[in-house]
Every structure is written in C-alpha cells, then in structure tokens.
C-alpha cells in the first residue's frame, strides 16, 4: 500500500479492488459497486497520520453497514 500511495502522490490514479476494509480505509475515495453498478461512494479525504486510521475504518464500516454489506 505504501508503494501505491507513493505512486498516487506522484499524480497517477489508482483503481484498487478489495474486500479488505483496512486497505479500503487507506484510500481517499471508496466506491461501493454491486452487480457492476456504482451504488454509492464515500470520500474519506487524504490520509494523514496513523492515529486516525481507526476513525477512518469506523467511518467506512458504518457507511458499509448502512448499505447492507
């Protein structure tokens, strides 16, 4: 993930598909795709220091639960 973050900071867009919430919570923007359609999205903003990781995971988890994941 650190290498992908570095590449992204250099200006390259990254489209990452994952079911891992910890990985997804490190992303700036998360799309929820169901049956090939974008159902919803959440913008977590730029990732700062590590201590905020749990708050990002909780925000993402709460959003996913509302979507029925």
- Tally the domains of the chain: 1
- Please compute the mean of the pLDDT values over residues 42-54 and round it to a whole number: 84
* Residue 59 pLDDT grade (very low, low, confident, very high; cuts 50, 70, 90): very high
Give, in order, the Cα–Cα distances in Å from 57 to each of 14, 50, 53: 20, 11, 6
Q: Which domain holds residue 54?
A: 2-66
Reported pTM? 0.82
Q: What is the pLDDT of residues 23-41, one digit of tens each?
A: 999 999 999 999 999 999 9
Distance CA 53, CA 69 (A): 20
Out of 1-15, 19-33, 45-59, least confident range: 45-59
């Amino acid at each position: 993930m650190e290498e992908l973050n570095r590449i992204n900071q250099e200006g390259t867009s990254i489209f990452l598909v994952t079911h891992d919430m910890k990985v997804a919570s490190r992303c700036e923007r998360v799309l929820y795709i169901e049956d090939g359609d974008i159902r919803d999205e959440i913008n977590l903003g730029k990732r700062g220091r590590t201590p905020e990781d749990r708050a990002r995971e909780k925000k993402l988890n709460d959003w996913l639960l509302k979507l029925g994941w």
